[in-house]
Structure 1
């Protein structure tokens, strides 16, 4: 059963289908600018999803031509939204409000998929990078374009980008503000798959459903193990793997899956 809801004045559509939660940017504004309000609604939705045991995968997508155009340049010019006040005020607003988004996406235990069409620019590119998997349409493009406006990524994009493409490519993208098309983004590991524009959301939903069908406890541990291992020494990673595997081997979830596997194997003989 599919359930869709939209909070009053929310720029998001949130839809739950089986164990997959789809969060759709639906602000009605071109490029769905990542304002303070948009960020807080997104963080609320993700933090709520993290508390729910019935959600096994999250898809982040958007309506319209573009995924997310990042910050609103007119607000920057007018001193509105994030820009109100002085340096201390802006820094505090970044830490208390906008930083909720990278923290929420980093903390959520279930896999996250970004379905990217059109432009993912600046903070919009960072938003896509925060997800575990990115699927792009053929017309997608990615840019760490902050230097064009005399800025740097203020919500952690440098941390995510460096871990995805490596230091040299991350520096190149940051220094040049170049736009990477979908195929170039696939070659450097930003996206895992490129599909036709009209197939993007269906492909993301298909992958999410496949992921969500996994045993939920093991899936959460698998995500944590891969992420933590990437920044750990081999002895630490092995110790973590042994602990997680022991928990799973002694649990009912694993035993049930073994029985199902053997029953299905016997039925096909």
Structure 2
């Protein structure tokens, strides 16, 4: 495995094949536009994709918030990511916050957002970019951009409707309303809720379960599910056939079959 990347505003920890990325700017509620978290997320994804020893990623926040999204004071004063004319602002979005969805879409392992507190605006969208979300009951979530007179410039309108369908996504986006963990579960935005003291343990259990599967098949399955979002069925089935050919020729496939026949736990080696 290559060296763990050096991060500025986030912390990487590892438990077996599971990596946890903790957004570590509690002083600004883990906001994304006035910190180095964009770079930290992008760097973490690139590192994971290059290291097959990693099988799952958990993203959570230090302190009271998961992420508060964009820096409101910077918006008000038209500085940082939000300063300049139309051309300059669009360039800053492209070179800034929009790097997160592009990175998360390329992530080759399952991802879990452990939403420990407020996840609003771009912070909510970051959670929606993950494959699975867990939240504490009192977490405040919301696609809140319209409340401050802007649109989801980080791709949130793309992710949310794929998560809950167009009608529900439209209601949440047009209203900008916030909601808590239990309602998020009822809407299908989060898989489950967990008490604050149990959240990371629940995320670890889920992630470790994924990490116990054959590593190559797990990554190929993630790639396959992402491909399904943009391919026609006939093309997608051709894609499946190639990936299945790869899987049938791995040692882990044979080990899984042998373990099943011999009624024992498999030992996967990633080849």
Pair in the same fold by TM > 0.5: yes
Structure 1 segments unaligned to the other structure (5+ residues): none
Q: Measure the CA separation in 2 of the matches of 1:90 and 1:235.
A: 40
CA distance in 1, matches of 2:96, 2:69: 15
The equivalences for 1:210-249 within 5 A come to 210-249=209-248
Distance 1:127 1:120 in 2: 8
Q: Distance in 2 between matches of 1:98 and 1:12?
A: 16
Against the structure 1 CA distance between its residues 27 and 230, is the aligned structure 2 distance closer, same or farther, given a 3 Å change threshold? Answer: same
Q: Is the contact made by 2:81 and 2:96 (CA closer than 8 Å) also made in structure 1?
A: no
2:95 is matched with which residue?
96
Q: 1:12 aligns with which of 10, 35, 60?
A: 10
- Find the aligned partners of 1:140 and 1:72 in 2 and give their Cα distance: 19
Q: In the alignment, which residue of structure 2 is the partner of 1:34?
A: 32
Q: Equivalent residues in 2 for 1:143-222 (5 A)? A: 143-222=142-221
Paired with 2:212 and 2:241, the residues of 1 have a C-alpha distance of: 24
Aligned 8 A contact 2:74 2:82 in 1: yes
| RMSD (Å), alpha carbons | 2.0
Contact 1:110 1:223 in 2 (8 A): yes
Partner of 2:268: none
Q: Per the alignment, do residues 109 and 163 of structure 1 end up closer, same or farther by CA in structure 2, a change over 3 Å counting?
A: same
Distance in 1 separating the partners of 2:209 and 2:152: 33
Measured after TM superposition, the shift of residue 5 of structure 1 is: 7.3
Q: C-alpha separation between the residues in 1 aligned to 2:26 and 2:185?
A: 29
- 2:57 matched to 1:58? yes
Alignment partners' CA distance in 2, 1:257 and 1:108: 25
Aligned partners of 2:30, 2:115: CA distance in 1, in Å? 13
TM-aligned CA distance change 1:243 to 1:12, over 3 Å: same
- Which segments of structure 1 move beyond 3 Å, counting only runs of 4 or more? 4-8, 230-234
Cα distance change on mapping 1:6 and 1:47 into 2, 3 Å: closer
Q: Deviations over 1:242-266 (max 9, x none)?
A: 2222221122220122122223359
TM-score, length of structure 2 as denominator length:
0.90
Shift of 1:124: 0.4
Q: Which residue of 2 aligns with 1:25?
A: 23
Partner of 1:98, secondary structure, is coil
Task: Supply the distance in 2 between the matched residues of 1:29 and 1:46 (Cα, whole angstroms).
Answer: 24
In the alignment, the residues of structure 2 paired with residue 68 and residue 186 of structure 1 have an alpha-carbon distance, to the nearest angstrom, of: 19
CA distance in structure 1 between the aligned counterparts of 2:28 and 2:195, rounded to whole angstroms: 21
User: What is aligned with 1:81?
Assistant: 80
How many angstroms apart in 2 are the aligned matches of 1:180 and 1:235? Answer: 40
Contact 1:14 1:23 survives alignment (8 Å): yes
- 1:183-240 Cα offsets, whole Å, 9 max, x none, are 2111221111111121001111111111111101111121222232344443333333
